[in-house]
Amino acid sequence: MNTPEVVGGLHAVEALLSHGAERVKRIQVAAGAADARVAAVATRARALGISVERVQRERLERAAGGLRHQGVLAWVKPRDRATEVDLADRVAAGATLLLALDGVTDPHNLGACLRSADAAGAAAVIVPRDRSAQLTPAAAKAASGAAETVPVVAVANLARTLRQLRDQGFWVVGLAGDTGGTLYDLDLTVPTVLVLGAEGEGLRRLTREHCDHLAAIPMLGTVGSLNVSVATGIALFEAVRQRQAAIRRGRAQ
């Protein structure tokens, strides 16, 4: 029997009620909480037939186990893990923007990258099955609800997956600070996989070898690198910017 996961935070619980209410077993809210959004979450959960219990904040803190909860916790059935078949289905359905993370081990960074992926309309986040952060409750909390809309696909061999995506017509673009070309020199309007590595270590050699292009984010100050979640946001939204500009040009013609 699967042990229920604990999900905390307003964004994450609101997203669960919108996109995964069937997984929610029960909700606890802090007694006396005056936040209107907490009250709205409780009202919506009850309307969906989900049990809502008001408990003392100290009890909520213990149940959260260090998770930042903002006065609300949900006990949920663990989600079915996304598989390489799910990734193939998304590609077959017309996905044109994917994010791959190579060696990102901090679940909070994974969650922040997932949040940016959702905001930019990326169809999936791809991570290696080993030596990588997975979609834990901490990562889901950092994703602020994006874990309910963008699948995190753990693959056995990232290099092989990138090669398969290249064969399917994707350009694979790896971000690396030690290359001459910049992200802004590339055409990201075509089907694209953006690949980012952990801060400091960067992309592994085999991952780099399976990229069509390596590109850097121009650094004009004194720091030498950016946190992976910041770099992810920049890269994804450069793709968004280019694609929206291409749409506007098409309408103007």
The DSSP line for 58-93 is HHHHHHHTT---TTEEEEEPPPPPB-HHHHHHHHHT
pLDDT at position 224 is 74
Taking the CB of residue 87, how many other CB atoms lie within 10 A of it? 22
pLDDT at position 65 is 81
pLDDT exceeds 70 at position 1: no
Q: How far is CA 171 from CA 6, 79, 91, 218, 247, in A?
A: 38, 30, 13, 21, 20
Domains of the chain, CATH where assigned: 5-76 (3.30.1330.30), 84-252 (3.40.1280.10)
Which has the minimum average pLDDT: 26-35, 99-108, 113-122?
26-35
d(CA 221, CA 76): 45
Whether residue 217 is annotated as binding a ligand: the answer is yes
Residue 210: partners with Cβ closer than 8 Å, 6 or more residues away: 159, 162, 163, 166, 172
Query: In this predicted model, what pLDDT tens digit does every residue of 112-148 receive, in sequence order?
Result: 999 999 999 999 999 999 989 998 878 887 887 888 8
Whether residue 175 is annotated as binding a ligand: the answer is no
d(CA 114, CA 108): 10
The arithmetic mean of pLDDT across residues 175-204, rounded, is 91
User: pLDDT band for position 47 (50/70/90)?
Assistant: very high
Tokens of 243: 């694609």
Query: In this predicted model, what pLDDT tens digit does every residue of 226-235 receive, in sequence order?
Result: 899 999 999 9
pLDDT at position 116 is 97
Whether residue 145 is annotated as binding a ligand: the answer is no
d(CA 59, CA 49): 23
pLDDT at position 77 is 86
Residue 199: partners with Cβ closer than 8 Å, 6 or more residues away: 225, 226, 227, 228
pLDDT exceeds 70 at position 2: no
d(CA 200, CA 179): 15
Question: Average pLDDT of the chain?
Answer: 90
Tokens of 247: 């749409």
> 122 near 195, Cβ under 8 Å?
no
Tell how far CA 101 is from the center of its chain: 10
Residue, of 16 and 33, whose pLDDT is higher: 16
Tokens of 147: 């874990």
pLDDT exceeds 80 at position 80: no
